[in-house]
Amino acid sequence: MSNRSAIVIGGSLVGLMAARVLTDYFEQVTIIERDRFPAGPQPRAGVPQARHLHVLLARGSHIIQRLFPGIDAELDAAGAPRVELGYDTAVYTRGGWSPRFHSGIFTRSVSRALLEHAVRARLLADGRVRILEGWQADALIAGPDGAHVTGVTMQARGGSAERQTLDAALVVDASGRASRAPEWLQTLGYDAPQETVINAFLGYASRWYEKPAGFDVFWKDLLIASLPPYNARGGGLWEVEDGRWVVTLAGANRDYPPTDEAGFMDFARSLPVPELYDAIRQARPLGEIYGYQRTENRRRHYERLSRWPEGFAVLGDAACGFNPIYGQGMTVGAMQVEMLESCLREGGLPGVGRRFQKKMPAVVRAAWLMATGEDFRYPATEGGRPDLPSRLVQRYVDRFQVLLAGDAGMARAFLEVTNLLQPPEALFRPAFAWRVLRGGSLDKQRAAAHRAEG
């Protein structure tokens, strides 16, 4: 075992960010990636959602800019729009259209492919990082008692029988939802984690378009939220680099958007407001329509295990994956990387994996509550039902959304929470709670908001 090297399993955005943090503590960081990376910012097979809409929340944007100083200027030069949330965005929710105002909260409207490419190029310019493409980690290596992970074994992909062993002082699993960490732990004599799965049976379909010449609206990004349980359909349109739009339509309760031309357009026409359909009906498609339906929230409770091997950590979707439609994955992954960085900085390498897994619930808590809280609204959802306190919170948030249509202060607070800049408790500040609780019935609030909008 080398105390100078670390391994990251998986070259996704979360794996790349983890590798960047590890360069501050190890002389060499090796990323093992089963896929092969494209030469430029193109989608790749190993990211099944690469062709769909990706949202980089403000919190995630801040973290990436800190880890990779100057990357924001690179994204700007590549044509990724800088977006002021609330001012450059049009959002339709329970209360109608959110108000337009200067929030001072910014992010980048960027494709997943470009963001990954920019981060990967930064890492490859660092001589301490190497990426082994076309290799798949298939087991952890540990001493006879299994108490300390000392590396991995890996298998070449593409028909070769070649195998290799890599030693490291720390192995980080960022291999995504297909992670084999539970199996690997059992092989070493540990328990597999308990899992929580909450599935709203949501599916989505996406298509890329060329932004029409002369298209003149104030927004760069458009979001039409579903309104469960009344309406399980929603959609989003994001303007990204090169004057392109990525459009994603979504439906829960197995009301999946079609992937044929006529069905896709009919689904867009059926949304509660016509803005998205009107935008794309004259736009030129840039390719086929892609569908995706693996959207369950899946949490592996590694923090509950009584024993944990030294030199091993699991993060990203390998530990906690969210319904992707809420756009939390990249940002929560970045927050987990920050937590790993904090654990290394404060306690060093001994016990870092166990410390990280114990602290991880605090990192994912807010996003998990928001994602599962929304998914619990759909009648077909499996994995549990909301208890009475959760239903009361849902009712409160519904009223909050209706009222924010006419209140920039409430709208900003909602942006801060949904962008993971503030905890959900920020919506319950006394001034907000007073407005919500004295606002009368939800139906009257909604009607008033729509009258004001009209």
- The answer to whether residues 300 and 281 belong to one domain is no
| pLDDT of amino acid 44 | 79
Is there a domain that residue 139 lies in?
Answer: yes
pLDDT in tens, 314-326: 999 999 999 999 9
Q: Which CATH number is 191's domain given?
A: 3.50.50.60
Q: Are residues 42 and 132 in the same domain?
A: yes
Q: What is the per-residue pLDDT for 229?
A: 80
165 exposed, middle or buried (CB, 10 Å; 0-12, 13-18, 19+)?
A: exposed
Here the tokens at position 132 are 């082994």
Mean pLDDT of the chain: 93
**pLDDT bucket at 51, cuts 50 / 70 / 90:** confident
Scanning 92-197, the segments in alpha helix (DSSP H) are: 112-124, 181-187
Both tokens of residue 55? 């949202």
3-class SS letters over 69-116: CCHHHHHHHCCCCEEECCCCEEEEECCEECCCCCCCCEEECCCHHHHH
Q: Are residues 261 and 189 in the same domain?
A: no
Nearest 5°: the CA angle 421, 13, 87 is: 40
Given 292, 318, 352, the domain boundary residue is 292
Q: Which residues pair with 207 in a beta bridge?
A: 247
Residue 444 in domain: yes
CA count, 13 A, side-chain hemisphere, 93: 21
Give the tens place of pLDDT for each residue, 376-430. 999 999 998 888 888 899 999 999 999 998 899 999 999 999 999 999 999 999 9
Q: What is the DSSP pairing of strand 5-9 with strand 28-33?
A: parallel
192-205: average pLDDT: 97
- Same domain for 136 and 43: yes
Residue 438 φ/ψ region, left for φ over 0, alpha for ψ in the -120 to 50 degree band, beta for the rest: alpha
Residue with more model confidence, 112 or 48 = 112
The count of domains in the chain is: 3
pLDDT classification of 448: cutoffs 50, 70, 90: very low
Q: What is the DSSP letter of 316?
A: G
pLDDT (0 to 100) of residue 390: 86
Percent of the chain with pLDDT over 70: 96
| Residue at which a domain ends, from 292, 313, 330 | 292
Asked if residue 179 and residue 273 are part of one domain, the reply reads: no
pTM of the model: 0.94
Same domain, residue pair 169 and 259: no
Selection from 300, 320, 306, 5 nearest residue 171 by Cα: 5
Q: Is residue 86 part of a domain?
A: no
Residue 320 lies in a domain: yes
C-beta of residue 207 within 8 angstroms of C-beta of residue 250: no
Strands, E, within 211-317: which ranges?
A: 221-224, 233-240, 244-251, 284-285, 290-292, 297-300, 312-314
Is 41 a domain residue? yes
Of 38 and 199, which is predicted with more confidence?
199
Which residue from 18, 248, 235, 260 is spatially nearest to 112, judged by alpha carbons? 248
Residue 415 belongs to a domain: yes
Report pLDDT digits (tens) over 329-387.
Answer: 999 999 999 999 999 999 999 999 999 999 999 999 999 999 999 999 999 999 988 88
Confidence of residue 1 (pLDDT cuts 50, 70, 90): very low
Residues 439 and 304 placed together within one structural domain of the fold: no
Identify the pLDDT of residue 441: 55
Domain boundary among 292, 320, 340: 292
Specify whether 259 is located in the same domain as 147: no
| Residue 7 clears pLDDT 80, i.e. is over it | yes
| pLDDT attached to residue 442 | 59
3-class secondary structure per residue, 328-348: CHHHHHHHHHHHHHHHHHHHC
* Averaged pLDDT, 70-94: 96
Tens digits of per-residue pLDDT, 238-277?
999 999 999 999 999 999 999 999 999 999 999 999 999 9
Sole residue written with tokens 């944007």: 61
Q: Is the pLDDT of residue 2 over 70?
A: no
Shared domain check, 302 and 423? no
259 domain residue, yes or no: yes
The whole domain housing 423 covers: 388-453
- What CA–CA distance (Å, rounded) separates 40 from 33? 17
Average pLDDT score over residue span 155-176: 91
Cα separation, 118 vs 120, in Å, equals 6
Residues in CB range of 228: below 8 A, 6 or more apart:
252, 374, 377, 378
Predicted pLDDT at 386? 85
Query: Would the CA dihedral through 420, 424, 430, 436 be positive or negative?
Result: positive
Per cent of the chain over pLDDT 90 is 85
The pLDDT value recorded for residue 348 is 93
Q: Average pLDDT for residues 292-299, to the nearest whole number?
A: 95
Q: Are residues 225 and 306 in the same domain?
A: no
Q: Within this chain, do residues 178 and 317 fall inside the same structural domain, yes or no?
A: yes
Tell me what pLDDT residue 388 has.
Answer: 87
End-to-end CA distance of the chain: 68
pLDDT for 327 beyond 80: yes
- Same domain for 125 and 39: yes
The answer as to whether 58 is a domain residue is no
CATH of residue 280: 3.30.70
The mean pLDDT of 205-220, rounded to a whole number, is 96
pLDDT of the residue at 3: 62
Q: Which amino acid appears at position 111 of this protein?
A: S
Averaged pLDDT for residues 278-285 = 96
